[in-house]
Amino acid sequence: MQSPEKNPAGCNCLALRQAARHVTQIYDQFLAPSGMRATQYSILARLSRRGSMTINALASELVMDRTTLGRNILPLRRDGLIAVARGGVDRRSKELRLTRSGEARVRAAFECWQQAQAQFESSFGAGRAKALRALARDVALSDPGAVAPVDKD
Partner DNA sequence: TTGATTTAGGTGTATATACTCCTATATTGA
Partner DNA sequence: TCAATATAGGAGTATATACACCTAAATCAA
Residues of the shown chain interacting with its own copies in the complex, contacts defined by CB under 8 A: 1, 3-6, 8-27, 29-30, 32-33, 38-39, 42, 45-46, 48-49, 62-65, 110, 113-114, 116-124, 128-129, 131-133, 135-140, 142-148
Helix (H) or strand (E) holding 67: helix 66-78
Backbone angles phi, psi at 96, to 5 degrees: -95, 135
Q: Which of 11, 15, 67, 133 binds DNA (CB under 7 A)?
A: 67
Q: Is 114 a residue that touches DNA (CB under 7 A)?
A: no
CA quadruple 109, 115, 121, 123: dihedral, nearest 10: -140
Which one among 27, 34, 40, 81 touches DNA, defined by CB under 7 A? 40
Is residue 93 within the footprint of DNA (CB under 7 A)?
yes
Strands 82-86 and 53-54 come out as: unpaired
